[in-house]
């Protein structure tokens, strides 16, 4: 009997708790402050999208519009053609507003694959509407002679746009020869030839001394028998340098060579400077000579029977 009396009391208490909870919820929801917030939230959800639709599109306003005339190239070097920027922009659709998302990234992609561009350093968007592009450009260091044509390359052996050079300008660069590998199909691609790649490094390092020594061409020496027999061995060509006087400098390997016993680049330059000062050039007194600076202890030379100037340079000398 005790058990039967307690059961109804528990049910009654549970009903009272539920009624109390419902009353508290009703009292909380229908307070003025709560109703005000609910009304405000509802108004925001309903009205804000409609108000946004009625707002004017500021990106279409003239004061935010970006034009070709407002895109600038920072510090274009002399060797890059003056029309470079206009040529790039002519191939692109200019975004209408500087407020466009990812605008800097979009402009960056325009320049990233240009043959003249080594790296896109920065694109800065500013107001009044303008975009300033900062690039690292490739610099021509030599021309590769192949089948009577001169192809300009940079220090990484990347082929540059030939049409951007006048014939007279191309002739000012050292000629690099020979190459049996055809040039890449597209400009801005590395010329995949060991002679070209290592010769480009040498031409770049010799650039400050080219006029001083009056050099005209860099020529790879024929492959040795050991290189010819070893197909899997990386080819590390040796070079000779032709001077305008007809003398030939046996230079050795490229500055980045790890060949054992190769003299350092600076040591070779010191030897050439000392030789030039002593004999007042590379063909005096009874040259032209073949001058070998690759020995560890001294320089050797022998008289050449014929001048070794490059035939295509003779008309300028």
Q: Structural domains in the chain?
A: 62-137 (3.10.20), 140-316 (no CATH)
Residues in the chain: 317
What are 226-259's pLDDT values in tens digits? Answer: 444 445 456 889 999 999 999 999 999 999 888 8
Other beta carbons within 10 angstroms of residue 297's beta carbon come to 5
If one compares 220 and 229, the residue with the highest pLDDT of the two is 220
What are 29-39's pLDDT values in tens digits? Answer: 556 666 666 66
Query: Cα separations (Å) of 313 from 134, 176, 242?
Result: 37, 13, 11
User: 143 pLDDT exceeds 70?
Assistant: yes
Q: Is the dihedral of CA 106, 110, 111, 115 positive or negative?
A: positive
Which of 67, 74, 86 has its CA nearest to residue 132? 74
Strands 130-137 and 71-74: parallel
d(C-alpha 223, C-alpha 228), whole Å? 6
Q: Give Cβ neighbours of residue 107 (< 8 Å, ≥ 6 apart).
A: 71, 123, 131, 133
> What is the 8-class DSSP label of residue 266?
H
Measured torsion, CA atoms of residues 37, 42, 47, 49, in degrees rounded to the nearest 10:
110
Question: Which stretch of DSSP H or E encloses residue 26?
Answer: helix 2-29
User: What pTM value is reported for the model?
Assistant: 0.74
Question: Which stretch of DSSP H or E encloses residue 250?
Answer: strand 248-253
d(C-alpha 59, C-alpha 270), whole Å? 62
Q: What is the pLDDT of residue 213?
A: 95
Angle between helices 32-54 and 2-29 (to 10 degrees): 50
Q: Which two structure tokens, joined as six digits, stand for 36?
A: 């005000």
Strands 300-303 and 289-292: antiparallel
Confidence of residue 81 (pLDDT cuts 50, 70, 90): very high
d(C-alpha 296, C-alpha 306), whole Å? 28
What are 168-207's pLDDT values in tens digits? Answer: 999 899 999 888 788 888 999 999 999 999 999 999 999 9
Which of 116, 35, 40 has its CA nearest to residue 73? 116
């Amino acid at each position: 009997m005790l058990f039967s009396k307690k059961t109804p009391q528990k049910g009654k208490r549970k009903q009272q708790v539920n009624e109390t909870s419902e009353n508290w919820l009703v009292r909380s929801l229908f307070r003025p402050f709560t109703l005000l917030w609910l009304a405000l939230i509802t108004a925001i959800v309903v009205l804000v999208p409609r108000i946004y639709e009625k707002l004017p599109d500021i990106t279409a306003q003239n004061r935010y519009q970006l034009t070709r005339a407002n895109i600038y190239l920072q510090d274009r070097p002399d060797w890059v053609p003056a029309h470079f920027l206009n040529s790039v922009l002519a191939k692109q659709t200019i975004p209408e507003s500087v407020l466009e998302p990812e605008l800097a990234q979009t402009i960056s992609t325009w320049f990233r694959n240009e043959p003249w561009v080594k790296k896109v350093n920065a694109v800065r968007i500013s107001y009044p509407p303008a975009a300033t592009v900062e690039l690292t450009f490739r610099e021509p260091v030599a021309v590769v002679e192949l089948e009577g044509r001169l192809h300009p390359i940079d220090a990484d052996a990347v082929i540059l746009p030939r049409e951007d050079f006048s014939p007279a300008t191309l002739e000012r660069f050292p000629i690099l020869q020979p190459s049996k590998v055809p040039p890449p199909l597209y400009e801005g691609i590395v010329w995949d030839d060991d002679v070209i790649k290592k010769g480009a490094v040498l031409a770049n390092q010799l650039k400050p001394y080219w006029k001083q020594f009056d050099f005209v061409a860099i020529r790879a020496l024929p492959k040795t028998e050991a290189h010819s027999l070893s197909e899997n061995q990386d080819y590390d060509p040796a070079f000779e340098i032709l001077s305008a006087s007809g003398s030939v400098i046996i230079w050795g390997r490229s500055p980045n060579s790890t060949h054992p016993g190769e003299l350092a680049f600076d040591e070779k330059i010191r030897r050439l400077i000392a030789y030039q000062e002593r004999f007042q050039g590379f063909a005096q007194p009874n040259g032209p000579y073949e001058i070998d600076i690759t020995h560890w202890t001294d320089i050797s030379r022998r008289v050449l029977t014929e001048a070794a100037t490059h035939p295509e340079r003779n008309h300028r000398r």
